[in-house]
C-alpha cells in the first residue's frame, strides 16, 4: 500500500529544513566546518557536501516527471537505508575525497546555500500530485519532499552535534521525520522521547538505555530503524 503525506505539510517541512541548515551553516567559520560531525569519519564540510548532493538530486528529480504509478511512499522509500547497507562505505569515501578537493570549506557552504535556495524555490512551484522519479523509484512529489525534509533534518543533527550556538533542525522537519520513523516502526514509538532523542536513537546515533529497551519491549530488535 502506498501512503500519502499531506502535500502542504511536506512542502513547508522541506523548505524549512533546508533553510534551517543554511542558517546554521552561515554561522560557521572555515575552521569550524573542518571539525568532526556526528557522522563517523566525516567533517562538517564533508557532511554538507553530502547534503549538497541531495539538493542537486532534488533539482534533477523535480524536473524528472515519472511514467507509471508510485512504487514507494515517504515511508517505504527508506526501507533500503538500513545501518551498514551496501554502498555506504563507498559513498563515504567519495564524499571525503571530493570535499577535500575544495579550496576552502566555505566554498562548499556557499554552494549549499545557493543550491538549497534554488531547490526550495523549485519545491514551492512543484505540483504535489505529480509523480517523480529518483533512485530507481517512482513516488508522488509530496512524498519526495518529505524524504528531503527527513534527510536534511537528520543530518542537521549531525552537523550541530552538541554545538549550542547553533539552532538545529526546524520543528516542521522534526515532526515529519518523527512521522516517518513511526511509519517505519508501524506504530507511534511507545517511549516518551522528545523529537531529537527519538531521531538520534532511531538512527543509531545514540544508544538505547535499559529503560528504553524495557519500554520498547518486542520492538527493541527493530532499532535502529534507519542508518
The pLDDT profile of the chain, 227 residues, written as one tens digit per residue, is 567 899 999 999 999 999 999 999 999 999 999 999 999 899 999 999 999 999 999 999 999 989 889 999 999 999 998 776 677 899 999 999 999 999 999 999 999 999 999 999 999 999 988 999 999 999 999 999 999 999 999 999 999 998 999 999 999 999 999 999 999 999 999 999 999 999 999 999 999 999 999 999 999 999 999 98
Separation in Å, CA 210 to CA 10, 220, 224:
34, 10, 15
- Can you list the domains of the chain with their CATH numbers? 7-171 (1.20.120.450)
Return the pLDDT at 217: 98
- Torsion-angle region of residue 157: left (phi > 0), alpha (psi -120 to 50) or beta? alpha
Return the pLDDT at 86: 72
List phi, psi (to 5°) of 138: -115, 135
Return the pLDDT at 2: 62
| Residue whose entry in the numeric block shows the C-alpha cell 543533527 | 157
Return the pLDDT at 227: 80
Q: How far apart are CA 6 and CA 99, in angstroms?
A: 36
Q: What is the pTM of this model?
A: 0.96
Return the pLDDT at 177: 98
Q: How far apart are CA 43 and CA 212, in angstroms?
A: 30
User: Omega into 224 within 30° of 0, i.e. cis?
Assistant: yes
Amino acid at each position: 500500500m502506498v501512503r500519502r503525506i499531506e502535500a502542504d505539510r511536506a512542502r513547508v517541512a522541506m523548505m524549512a529544513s533546508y533553510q534551517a541548515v543554511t542558517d546554521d551553516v552561515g554561522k560557521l567559520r572555515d575552521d569550524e566546518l573542518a571539525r568532526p560531525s556526528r557522522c563517523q569519519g566525516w567533517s562538517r564540510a564533508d557532511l554538507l557536501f553530502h547534503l549538497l548532493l541531495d539538493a542537486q538530486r532534488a533539482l534533477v528529480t523535480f524536473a524528472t516527471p515519472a511514467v507509471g504509478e508510485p512504487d514507494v511512499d515517504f515511508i517505504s522509500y527508506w526501507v533500503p537505508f538500513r545501518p551498514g547497507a551496501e554502498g555506504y562505505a563507498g559513498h563515504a569515501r567519495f564524499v571525503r575525497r571530493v570535499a577535500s578537493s575544495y579550496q576552502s570549506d566555505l566554498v562548499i557552504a556557499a554552494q549549499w546555500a545557493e543550491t538549497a535556495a534554488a531547490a526550495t524555490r523549485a519545491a514551492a512551484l512543484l505540483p504535489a500530485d505529480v509523480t517523480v522519479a529518483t533512485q530507481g523509484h517512482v513516488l508522488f512529489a509530496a512524498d519526495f519532499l518529505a524524504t528531503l525534509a527527513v534527510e536534511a533534518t537528520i543530518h542537521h543533527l549531525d552537523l550541530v552535534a552538541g554545538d549550542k550556538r547553533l539552532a538545529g533542525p526546524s520543528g516542521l522537519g522534526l515532526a515529519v521525520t518523527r512521522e516517518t520513523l513511526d511509519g517505519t516502526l508501524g506504530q507511534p514509538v511507545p517511549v516518551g522521547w522528545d523529537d531529537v532523542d527519538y531521531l538520534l536513537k532511531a538512527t543509531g546515533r545514540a544508544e538505547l538505555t535499559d529503560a528504553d529497551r524495557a519500554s520498547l519491549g518486542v520492538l527493541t530488535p527493530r532499532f535502529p530503524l534507519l542508518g
